[in-house]
Structure 1
Amino acid sequence: MNTQSENSASATPADGVIDWLTNGTRDERFIDNIFAQMCIRLQQAGIPLKRSTLHVMIHHPQWLGARMMWSDGKREAEITLADYNVRERSEYIGSAANEIHDGADEVREKLEQDSSLGRKHALYDDMRSLGMTDYVAWPMFHTLGKRHLVTFATDRPGGFNDADIAGLKKLLPVLALVSEIRIKNRLARTLLETYVGSHAGELILAGATRRGTGTTVRAAIMICDLRDFTKISDNWPRDDVIDLLNDYFDAMSEPIARHGGEILKFIGDGLLAIFPLSQPNACANLLHAVTEARQAMAALNERNNGTGRAPLNYGIGVHVGDVMYGNIGSSSRLDFTVIGPAVNMASRLEALTKTIGKKVLLSRAFAELVEKEFALEHVGQHEVRGFSEPIELFAYPG
């Protein structure tokens, strides 16, 4: 038995790239960087690669998947996101991605032949217009049969030869392993950012998962609540209620994130956000966020008025103080949140907006930090449930 001869016969131009993928990428965090470098190395190994794409499912709240595209001469891959409706559009229907996701093991299109004889899709016309002569797409399998997609194209006359195809096919299982690790790491990060916020997500990934652990943080605290939600949810169709809540949270949340705040949780029709005072101008940023959120809510109410919906009302309570920021919960189910008297005060102020008739109420402790920059309305001292002394309050007219 001639083992050396058999090993030589199975060698491909991609073997060096496979070795690099296996042993040389452990310190690279991002799959798009690995993918671009892989394509460049394939070129250097003699495979006439001109264009390549990697399509992965990411299951982001807003995006179904991402496409990484490398082109000849580029050092980096271009990333394009695809929303959840992409499979209903012509760009997907009948494409190589469509065929692969429907179960095809390979899509190969010789682009030099008469276009009337080949597959009919704008993708192949685009490839021809770019001078491509050959295009191949394969599924890339992750754990439990999850299918992603990788494509390769060349402009060499005659297309890819047998050795090129053998090398690219041999590469796929290693690329699948390398990409699955990075994609799942990114998915874990995305899920944490989605459900607990970016800062808390970073802490959890760094190992802050022990119950009862946390830190004391001085922060401006904002609690917002929607008015008459019980009445709305009782009288409106379910899907309308969900749409309304999503629109309301978009209007409130996007300005908070834009100005450096972090939403720690949604509580029914309310939200809790903090602006750590370790950040410059945290209290001013909170009020800038409130200003933009009020404008967004006014625009939302105007749109809702056009569809016959009643305007949405809300209250916002704002305070500043020390909070315990960390893991709280049962032995098997934790919440990464903030607790403390300062949070309770913000909650009480939000509730007082109903009786005082002001949309945004601020404690004196918070007002003192922003009164030189913002015009505030003094609304006197008020009893606050759970606190022994009346609290001096201010309204933010905006």
Structure 2
Amino acid sequence: MATTNPSEANVAVQSPTQPQPPLPGESEGTWPARRRIIDWLVIETRGERFIDNIFVEMCDKLVEAGVPVARATLHFRIHHPQWIGARILWRKGLAEAELDTYAYGVEDTTQYLSSPLRDFNEGAEEVRRRLDDPTSAGPDYPLYDELRAEGLTEYIIWPLLHTLGKRHAVTFASDRPGGFSSDDLAFLKDILPALALVSEIRLKNRFARTLLETYVGPHASEQILAGATTRGSGVTVGAAILICDLRDFTKLSDLWPRDDVIELLNGYFDAMSEPIERHGGEILKFMGDGLLAIFPLSNPCACSQLLGAIGEAQAALAVLNEENLRKGHDPLGYGIGVHVGDVMYGNIGSRRRLDFTVIGPAVNIASRLETLTKELKRPVLLSRAFVEKAGCAGQMENLGSYALRGLDEPVDVFAFSRKK
């Protein structure tokens, strides 16, 4: 699918230079075209990162070869925190495929339960229906009515087999009266192993990127995939730093049922994380009930965007606390520390287990400010360095200078002005 995947290895493979005999089941009339498409899939798609582009070109080649394909889809089960699956849909005459994702729980919807894909996922090796023949056997799913309205005459689902028996689906639909011939079906079946090969490579690449984006964030994942995997490798960057921590979590986790605690944490992290990411911040780490995020100063609006993220997060947490009160729970408290400065951004850890994060005195100051929120009873504390960088002194209240653990000099501390 259309993502920024790393390129596949450029393996040198030569196309056959001499005519080859027909494959088993091939007719003399179609085998050269069939073999050309298989060779193209295996050899000539190495430079194409995205399976949807390959699928579109493959379907166009099938039409050029005389196979009456008018609609085709790929259905993949994918590993993603939000989606259980994805579909690539091609229609004859269109230059691009349609890409759709499906959320967890789709298996319980009426649309899925009354679809031929359900039969396939329950183990059928083939689901096939002649759409222009009213006497054709089998259930008449709502999808078939939609396909008939498009002028399609036959529909078929086959498995697309990946390593270790992982089973995805490919569908083809014809618009020729009478549907697919036996030679058309043999043609299509013969290209499936090559399609499975090229789709698995790209799906695994996307899976690797998704895992990295899920666990270390989009920017760090890009660095790692670009080769930043050596311990100690990294760069020094200027950044606005935000550290947030949930108050009294240990007490809550002792008193509440496990599932309620997980639900609470997820709601809290959604309220904090979504505004941070929406405003261009990068969450580097979830630390139990806390998080560490940076807003790189390469973006001239980084400090103002951090403030905007805090404002939206506080509003979201207020809504979450209203819901907690309705459920009879105490509202959640939190502390946020904000500072700005240079940080070392890169790989830190043991020889075999690394963490891509930021370290440095600036991070320590943000952490100490977050801890100070407990003493000063203010949910957000900001350093003078950040306030001056952001140009927001007029919106802040100067709370004075405080000695922070591990620092030789006291730090001037600011908070949002209290509303009167």
| Cα separation, 2, equivalents of 1:32 and 1:254 | 29
Q: CA deviation at 1:36?
A: 1.4
Name 1:324's counterpart in structure 2. Answer: 344
Alignment of 1:284-299 (within 5 A): 284-299=304-319
Q: Does 1:215 align with 2:235?
A: yes
Name 2:54's counterpart in structure 1. Answer: 34
Alignment of 1:1-398 (within 5 A): 4=21, 9=27, 11-12=30-31, 13-114=33-134, 117-372=137-392, 375-397=395-417
Q: CA deviation at 1:242?
A: 0.6
1:46-102 CA distance string (max 9 Å, x none): 111111110011110010110011112211111111112111222222533222222
SS in 2 for 1:153: strand
When residues 115 and 251 of structure 1 are mapped into structure 2, their CA distance, relative to the original with a 3 A threshold, is: farther
Name 2:6's counterpart in structure 1. Answer: none
SS in 2 for 1:50: strand
Q: RMSD of the alignment, in Å?
A: 1.8
Q: Is the 8 A contact 1:142 1:176 kept in 2?
A: yes
Q: CA deviation at 1:184?
A: 0.4
Q: CA deviation at 1:397?
A: 4.3
| Cα separation, 1, equivalents of 2:48 and 2:21 | 34
Per mean C-alpha deviation after superposition, the further-off stretch among 43-52 and 305-314 is 305-314
Normalization by structure 1: what TM-score? 0.95
Q: Is the 8 A contact 1:360 1:397 kept in 2?
A: no
Instruction: Count how many residue pairs are aligned between Structure 1 and Structure 2.
Output: 396
| Cα separation, 1, equivalents of 2:416 and 2:127 | 61
1:131-162 CA distance string (max 9 Å, x none): 21100110000010000000000121100111
When residues 200 and 389 of structure 1 are mapped into structure 2, their CA distance, relative to the original with a 3 A threshold, is: same
| Cα separation, 1, equivalents of 2:341 and 2:397 | 21
Identity of aligned residues (%): 61
**Counterpart AA for 2:158:** W
Q: Is the 8 A contact 1:15 1:167 kept in 2?
A: no
1:330-366 CA distance string (max 9 Å, x none): 1111111111111111000001011111111110111
1:302-343 CA distance string (max 9 Å, x none): 222222222111110001111111111111111111111111
Which blocks of at least 5 consecutive residues in structure 1 are unaligned?
none
Per mean C-alpha deviation after superposition, the further-off stretch among 26-35 and 142-151 is 26-35
**Counterpart AA for 1:52:** A
| Cα separation, 2, equivalents of 1:302 and 1:389 | 40
| Cα separation, 2, equivalents of 1:296 and 1:42 | 52
Provide runs of 4+ in structure 1 moved above 4 Å: 3-8
| Cα separation, 2, equivalents of 1:328 and 1:240 | 34
Q: Is the 8 A contact 1:141 1:176 kept in 2?
A: yes
